[in-house]
Amino acid sequence: MMKKANVAIDGFAGSGKTTVAVELARQLELVYLDTGLMYRAVALQCLREGLDASQEPLLAELIQRLDLKMEVVARPHPTCRMLLGSEDVTDELHDPRVGGLVSKVAACSAVRRDLVARQQAFAERGGVIMVGRDIASVVLPEAELKIFLAADLAERARRRALELASKGKHLTEQEVEAELSLRDRLDSERADSPLVCVEGARQLDTTGRTVAEIVDEIAGWVRCGSV
């Protein structure tokens, strides 16, 4: 059986990466992995232990002993869950405190090396839609299809505020916009694996577009072999 194509989706926070990836995985019967959740799980553990995330030696020691597991399934609905030991912590990972720390965690080279190796091993099976900020540039540079999603900041803040509210975490759009603006800068300017749109990636601006429109466009590229 021919190995299925891997799809790499990068983009700014709130650009629609996860929503698009889940629906695309459902339609194409692929599995998806949100790598951002892996970094958030590390950030959550930092908070639980009261670690200073600016101290890279502490993060390097943490990642060596962290029992982080990914549970993903393709059917009936694509899901991606993160476990610390036997504890499913996925629902805690969008806490604003975690969001405020994750860029510092993601900037640590030791953390990135460890998690990238796990992500690459996961993708060896093929048929994976992987979401993050360095997928096409670092994790899966040979992915058959590379996508970069963007949207204007106000739109992304509105989406993220609604997402947080659905989880019982209420922030104003202005507060979320400030957090996203800082995250954009940190992700784009970090020395190790900054957020970039690689050559050959297909860029899509999701502002004002429905999920169905975006997914149909990407699915069409996969189905017709235009990857």
Segment 209-214 shows an average pLDDT of: 94
Give 156 or 227, the one with higher predicted confidence.
156
pLDDT at res. 4? 84
CB 6 within 8 A of CB 130: yes
Task: Please report, for the chain, the start and end positions of each structural domain, with discontinuous segments joined by +.
Answer: 7-219
| pLDDT tens sequence across 135-153 | 999 999 999 999 999 999 9
- Select from 221, 212, 227, 226 the least CA-distant residue to 26: 212
Rounded Cα–Cα distance for residues 136 and 203 (Å): 12
Highest mean pLDDT among 47-51, 104-108, 130-134, 169-173 belongs to 47-51
Q: In the prediction, which pLDDT does 51 show?
A: 96
Q: What is the pTM of this model?
A: 0.87
Bridge pairing between strands 128-132 and 145-150: unpaired
Q: For 30-110, list the strands marked E by DSSP.
A: 31-34, 68-73, 79-84, 87-88
Q: What is the pLDDT of residues 66-88, one digit of tens each?
A: 999 999 987 778 989 999 999 99
- How many other C-beta atoms lie within 10 A of the C-beta of residue 3? 10
The closest of 129, 115, 147, 133 to 190, measured between CA atoms, is: 133
Architecture of the domain delimited by 7-219? 3-Layer(aba) Sandwich (3.40)
